[in-house]
Structure 1
Amino acid sequence: MLWIVPPNINSLGLFWYYVIIGATYQLFYTVVNLPYIAMTPELTQDYDERTQLNSFRFAFSIGGSILALILAKVFFSSITNHQQQYILLAATCSIITILSLYCCIWGTRDSILAFEAKRSQFEGVKSTHIAEHLATSLSNRPFLFVIGIYLFSWLAVQVTASMIPYYAVECIKLRESDVPAVLICVQGSALLMLFIWSYIAQRIGKKFVYFLGILLWIIAQVSLFFLQPHQVILMYMIALISGCGVSVAYLVPWSMVPDVIELDELKTGHRREGIFYGFMIVLQKLSLALSLFFVGIILESSGFQGRLQDQTTLILQPESTIFAIRLAISTVPTICLIISLFLTYFYPITKEMHAEILLKLRQNNHSGQDL
């Protein structure tokens, strides 16, 4: 329904239609995604294996994005009707998504049930007050660093993703049909680098990997400001470098969350996967909303000239718009990434500290079992 445009309806009706459908979609996306990502600390307690586990999770996430872009190019090149293009694309992606989710459910069901049965032997009665859970989670200092790292890195991702179509068309003078190829280039590079960063992280640690990846990404973002029209090859090279940084924004913050959960368990005696991952999903949605709002404000204030759906004439954008697009896609993500680097530097949980946390948890569990 997101891709169906109701006929014979005014702008206000369209607005409320998409508000309702968009909110419903996001609601059920959260219902599915929250327990899905909260399974990470339950599938393994190994510090390095969690990074590897997240590399596989995001490899299929990015792979799904690439597949959707490829399917879009196939449908758009073979079908002329715009409405049919998007409906068929949405239906195909929906079928793939649902089958994948049920494969995940049945593939992990036994492991998760075994983990929950074992954990229930040691945990006491949990408080049902959501305010208490929230307050305790926010008092977890390492988690506050993870929140900041993820928010600012994901803001950089979302602002870049939102600006790429405008930047590619208006600044580099690519055709609109070439934009998916640029996105595939970024996502493809990120997909490959997930496994490379995961391998490196096992040897030098998550924090150092994050620094390496983000520094590469900052170089790529700054380069976009100076790129000139028709420098297509350079743009694709920069897209490849950007993908190297995007992959650590996917990988590292999510790999930190399970470690934070176990620190909380050591301090409180309870596991709160849902609360911690719920915060992460809220930040994910917040960064998306802020980036779209920011992009809209930038384009409107700079005098961007939109084009109607049935209008084929090329519109020349004013120089103020071109400069604003260059500034937005380079400066804003760079500032966000620098802040995330600063927060990562002070993130306290190391591999050695995590091993000590697990040891103390096992000792506590054995003591409880003896009692």
Structure 2
Amino acid sequence: MILLRLGKKSALFIGLPLFIPVMIVLASVSENFPVYMIMCILVGTSVATLFLLPWSMLPDVVDEFMVANPSCRAMEPLFFSCYCFCNKLGGGLSAGISTMTLHLTGYKTGACSHSGGVVLALRLLLAPIPIILLLVGLVFFYLYPINEMQRQRIQRDQEQTR
């Protein structure tokens, strides 16, 4: 509903910043179960925004490229493939870096309790690092050149070309 009323960029800037206070609360509050569950619901909406909106923005980028370069029709699958590759690479790197960090701090699988270094590493991997990366991502989305008016102009140009 927000996506249709306000546009993609506005919906992104409403949904993603919810992640920041929620992750701070999740990293600092561990004993209050009702608060923890409410924060998990809020982070779910933010993560849904994170996963769904870039996929809805990707066709706009492809359309913009096709209007600017109509002879490069064969490049369209390359955009989607590149996006998928970068998405998978980022997921793999984050899993690898997290695993390496936990290994270096002394994490033992199946242990009932862990050292303070492991707990600190988990708290850092849960809140500050994702928040910093989210803020960097928001800067990139802010610089995203296509807004709602440009998207409508692109659609008109494509209809005229057809």
Report the TM-score, using the length of structure 2 for normalisation.
0.92
Q: Does 1:227 find its partner at 2:24?
A: no
> For residues 109 and 158 of structure 2, what CA distance do their matches in structure 1 show?
58
> For residues 138 and 90 of structure 2, what CA distance do their matches in structure 1 show?
17
Q: Which residue does the alignment assign to 1:300?
A: 103
Q: Which residue does the alignment assign to 1:284?
A: 87
Question: Which structure exhibits the higher relative contact order, with contacts defined as CA atoms closer than 8 Å and separated by 6 or more residues?
Answer: 2
Taking only aligned residues, the RMSD between alpha carbons, in angstroms, comes to 1.4
Q: Which residue does the alignment assign to 2:69?
A: 268
In structure 2, the residue corresponding to 1:298 is in which secondary structure?
helix
The offset of 1:280, in angstroms, is: 1.2
> For residues 342 and 289 of structure 1, what CA distance do their matches in structure 2 show?
23
Deviations 1:154-193 (A, max 9, x none): xxxxxxxxxxxxxxxxxxxxxxxxxxxxxxxxxxxxxxxx
In structure 2, the residue corresponding to 1:317 is in which secondary structure?
coil
> For residues 315 and 359 of structure 1, what CA distance do their matches in structure 2 show?
62
> For residues 78 and 121 of structure 2, what CA distance do their matches in structure 1 show?
39
Q: Which residue does the alignment assign to 2:47?
A: 246
In structure 2, the residue corresponding to 1:316 is in which secondary structure?
coil
Q: Does 1:236 find its partner at 2:33?
A: no
Q: Does 1:343 find its partner at 2:144?
A: no
- Which residue identity does 2:126 align to in structure 1? I
Aligned length: 160
2:114 to 307, 311, 317: 317
- Which residue identity does 1:299 align to in structure 2? L
CA contact (8 A) 1:259 1:354 kept: yes
CA contact (8 A) 1:224 1:326 kept: no
Q: Which residue does the alignment assign to 1:211?
A: 13
> For residues 158 and 145 of structure 2, what CA distance do their matches in structure 1 show?
18
Q: Does 1:334 find its partner at 2:131?
A: yes
- Which residue identity does 1:205 align to in structure 2? G
- Which residue identity does 1:351 align to in structure 2? E
Q: Percent identity?
A: 26
Segments of structure 2 that go 5 or more residues without pairing to the other structure are none
In structure 2, the residue corresponding to 1:325 is in which secondary structure?
helix
The offset of 1:231, in angstroms, is: 2.4
Segments of structure 1 that go 5 or more residues without pairing to the other structure are 1-198, 308-313, 366-371
In structure 2, the residue corresponding to 1:315 is in which secondary structure?
coil
Deviates more, 1:261-270 or 1:275-284: 261-270
Map 1:34-73; keep pairs closer than 5 Å.
none
Q: Which residue does the alignment assign to 1:259?
A: 60
The offset of 1:217, in angstroms, is: 1.0
> For residues 23 and 118 of structure 2, what CA distance do their matches in structure 1 show?
18
> For residues 32 and 96 of structure 2, what CA distance do their matches in structure 1 show?
29
The offset of 1:236, in angstroms, is: 1.3
The offset of 1:219, in angstroms, is: 1.1
- Which residue identity does 1:332 align to in structure 2? I
> For residues 105 and 32 of structure 2, what CA distance do their matches in structure 1 show?
24
CA contact (8 A) 1:305 1:315 kept: no
The offset of 1:324, in angstroms, is: 1.0
> For residues 267 and 215 of structure 1, what CA distance do their matches in structure 2 show?
33
- Which residue identity does 1:243 align to in structure 2? G
